[in-house]
Structure 1
Amino acid sequence: MSTVENVLLSGIVGSTAYGLAHAGSDVDRLGLFAAPTVELHGLRRPKESHVTTAPDRTLHEAAKWCRLALSCNPTATELVWLPDELYEVRTPLGDELMAVRTSFLSAGRVRDAYLGYAVQQFRRLQGRGEGEDAPGRRARTAKHARHLKRLCAQGLELYTTGRLTLRVDDPQEFHDFGERVAADPTAAQPLLDRYRAAFEEARTALPDAPDEGPAEAWLHRVRAHFFTPCPDGTGPRGRSAGQQFW
């Protein structure tokens, strides 16, 4: 596994965080890192994401993670709502980000992102994994169904309370739902319809738009922290300290 420098926050996400993991489940890791500030001023932008398998790990550059979180992307969002014991890297800048996590949220984006992902899962259920053997198809269908139900429940909680609980209350209920849908994919439709109606009827605790100010201020602190002047005393534009061009 390649080494990524300046990791600010990283933890175990996915089924382990939801309490839905079983023997043989993959352990998924997600985090964010800061590119050295001087690299942001060159001809080519530094890589914004590092993704590996075996082990499964995704690391996003700080600015990219903020953009994803401001869109209320469910996968990115969960990084700042993990139980403490699931964090593997926590830094002061990571803690500062967690302290402003609610500023990334907005009503419409939470509804669209979480219900949108749930609809994607439902379409996968309808596809039934054609080309797979029967046991593989059933297992994949059950997995998509569990995540459809989880996304709906977590999205509605976030929409109505402004808080996100990753670990589900009754894992067996989700596993049972997955098995029912594996036997008959149309069994997922009533649940999806029920949550669509619930979002329409619910009173949200979230603002209409996210507050980008805290994210912008945090990124400025990150860039200042990881700025290293050139050895000859020149700044990122190649001029000496104090020199001015008019």
Structure 2
Amino acid sequence: MTEAARRLFGLDPRLKLGWALIAGGLIWHGGTPGLLAWILVLGALVALLRPLGRDLSRLWRGGALFALFWGALQAGLLWLDGAPSLLVLGQASQLALRLFALVLLGLGLVLSTPPRQSGLALAWAGRPVLGVRAWEPALALTLMIHFLPQCRRAMRGVRLGLEQRRLGLPLTRRWALFASAVLRALGRRTWEQTLAVASRGLDDPEAWIGRFPPPDRSWLAAGALLALLGVFSFS
């Protein structure tokens, strides 16, 4: 890990979570020049946090395909509605760029912030509203972030196992077998995760009281970057 990536990883999780929430709103309401600026900056941050290896390149392709699918779907709906071609192309491409920027934003947040730190930041932010129950959404967020990579690994393992066995089953039977095997694997991991939560005392509100340092100059730098990208978003 480079020194710059180490600094990003060590930033206050409250700063990163709040920055991501505001950035998501700016991305969703910004124009095309702003979206291109967001993709450039967020793509550089993601590449900085983890070099472009096989796993990360697969995530990039998945995010791009996700954005292109919804962009193409919107283009088809607008075309069926009789919209002009330029309007169809403009709105569909803008939606694809917006979704891809949001994918990069989420990927950067996940890569730079451990699930436990994200949960502590969410509990801190929700305590003025939810009181002692703020730990519950924090625990849910932590488990969700922790569980998503396990889902990917389980699905990949089952798929590779079926390919290596070469059972020669029909497509519907193969998908049914794949789904049942994935559900069994995830059910086993869910039970293991439940035991881990109980054994570490994470079902106790006291476990979600974070002790964060006071804001420093990194907050000013993050705010300046956010303001600059916000200007591009509405230019």
- Please give the TM-score of this superposition, normalised by the length of structure 1: 0.31
Tell me: higher relative CO, structure 1 or 2? Use CA pairs within 8 A at least 6 residues apart.
Answer: 2
- Please give the TM-score of this superposition, normalised by the length of structure 2: 0.32
Q: Which structure has the highest helix share of the two? A: 2
